[in-house]
Chain A
Amino acid sequence: MNRLKQDALLSELADQLNRLGSWCGETHMQKATYFLQGLRKVPLGFDFILYKHGPFSFDLRDELTSMRADGFLELHAQGQYGPSLVPTRRSTELRQDYPKTLKKYEADIEFVCDALGNQNVAELEKLATALYVYFQRESSSQKVRAKILHDLKSHISLSDSLDAVKQVDTLIQRSA
């Protein structure tokens, strides 16, 4: 997927997250993109590794910075947790150049925003890490995966880990 097409999809994702009242900081965009690419198989082409707050893509971080440099996204001040990423008028023009691409992935973006739009960073960390564990150990039971999640992120309790694994399994079923 070429860069501008990728930027059009990321702009649309940010726009919908903002409209749903999401904080839409960098972490929200990271986790939402992880679901979009991993669960919904939208071919954005970012490499994710397990890092701060769960799955993280350095390429995506650079791309979001590049979108700010090109005037597609802006930082808007929020409270003590840092700013939101808000699409600009220029990003609207960009999206107008890619109607077919946006139509093709419209349902995927809606699905991800519906699932994650109202989650805070701590919740997103749990869910995205649970999805990461699912991709690593698809055939393992929920309890085993919850234990792995807890071992990876010791500040997430075992019961919270199990809840996150169950929520992700529900999302996977809904997505199928």
Chain B
Amino acid sequence: MVRIKSNGCDLFGEVLLLQWLIICVTVSASNMPKSGKIQKHEHEVRDPIHVFIHFDSDERKVIDSRPLQRLRHIHQLALTYLIYPSATHRRFEHSLGVMDLAGKVFDIVVKDQNVSEEVRRFLPEINQENKLMYWRRVLRMAALCHDVGHLPFSHAAEDKLLPEGWNHERLTKVIILSEEMKSIWAAMTPPLRPEDIVKLALGPRKADLNFSRWETILSEIIVGDAFGVDRIDYLLRDSHHAGVSYGKFDHHRLLETLRILPTPATREPALGVEYGGLQSAEALVIARYLIYSQVYFHSVRRICDIHLCDFLAQWLSGSKFSTELESHLSMTDNEVTAALISAAFDASKPGHEAARWIICREHFRVLYERNPTDLAVNSESASAIFDAAVKQFGAESVRADKYTQKGGSHDFPVLQRDGEPVSSLALSETLKAIPIFAIDYVFVKPERRLEAEKWLETNHDAIIKEGRAKEDE
């Protein structure tokens, strides 16, 4: 062996070390797959809202399953792309986003320094590391799967197009409890109980199961009225894709300040915010109000949903979607869109007229819209005008749409600087002042619009006054 001297250093030892390292790497490489690639257990995808979304190999099996992959073909905002052309994003990426946010919120609210002793007494699960790991996984999977039961074009008219007693939440439950998914849950580390995933994905209102206090809090993280990550993701994502600013708010700040706090009146724990996050919470509520009025309940979007329902009622066998699992998984927006386009240009096909209204933009136009002046006279003014318009122009020429915001007042605990929780409504004038979103539309066929407008101008006052319902006992 030649000894090399350089700058007074003995390089012999370094060469030996280098040789040893080469041997180690070679031996190690021989244990790797023949391709030479290191096997990844952590994966990531790019996302326009959350930049990167991470998941592990177990979670990837769920993402790769048929029910999740089907969501690549269900538009998040149904036919909203007819008004906002770039709103063509799908439920798939929303589901990934909800999973990502759910994990982030979980990590923040169970972090040692963020949990008070009082909350620990109410929720002993927070003190058990192995339970936390299990529930973190359940929460992420519930968030990922919360939308798998959606029908084509998401919410459009599911109450009319499913058999009695069915809704997309019940389909979600069936899918999570299916044999295909059960085998994936069982193979995870740790194995997950499918019933736990159902609970968190659907929440107390829809799951029809008893919830522990801990499960209630976790389901709130996904579907909660105040800070549910489902809503946080769809507000951000929908505004991004629609190209509007209405749904945006400082969600980073909000997430960082979320806490599990005692409710002031009963001390029962609920999801709330630290004082510093109150303005972000206000911004979330304002964002929701604005995007509802500007995007989700845009009159053209609503009438297109109604026409889609008109079409589907004629196109579907028995006027209903099947609730059989295989049929559900096979039915996406693609099948419906192909049928819609075909029917629009072929008068012999079922649903031809309704398909034309959508595809050829011959949709009904707004004849009447809810307004404060009429509401002061008759709180059901739109119904009165709809009934009168049907008598005047026939049911085939008139459609109505009604929706009022769901959920309660924006009441959640806020942790003050002195460590005491207070109702958000005691601190925020903004939260009290945000209007409740409500719409009431009456639509009329475009070819009868002028005639209908003249008729309404003449008869408006009488209809509103006489139409006041008084079915007293």
Contact = CB atoms under 8 A, between A and B. Distances in A.
Interface of A: 2, 4-5, 26-27, 49-53, 58, 61-62, 64-66, 68-72, 75, 77-83, 90, 94, 97-101, 104, 120-122, 125, 155
9 contacts: A61-B407, A65-B405, A80-B423, A81-B264, A81-B426, A82-B409, A82-B425, A83-B426, A101-B473
A94 B378 CA distance: 9
Interface of B: 122, 204-205, 210-211, 216, 263-268, 270, 375-376, 379-380, 404-409, 411, 422-426, 432, 435-438, 468-473
B377 to A, nearest CB: 10
A53 B432 contact: no
Contacts of B422: 80
A83 B409 contact: yes
Nearest to B205: A58
B436 to A, nearest CB: 4
B436 A68 contact: yes
- Classify the secondary structure of B's interface with A: loop
Contacts of B470: 97-98
Given A70-B375, A82-B425, A99 B472 contact: yes
The 3 lowest CB-CB distance pairs between A and B, nearest first, are A82-B423, A121-B265, A69-B436
Contacts of B216: 51-52
Given A65-B407, A71-B375, 13 more contacts: A26-B409, A53-B265, A65-B404, A69-B435, A70-B379, A77-B426, A78-B426, A80-B426, A81-B265, A83-B411, A83-B426, A121-B265, A155-B266
A78 B435 CA distance: 19
Contacts of A65: 404-409, 436
Nearest to A2: B471
Contacts of A53: 263, 265-266, 268
B409 A75 contact: yes
Contacts of B380: 4
A51 B204 contact: yes
Nearest to B208: A49
Given A79-B426, A125-B266, A26 B379 contact: no
B264 A52 contact: no
B225 to A, nearest CB: 9
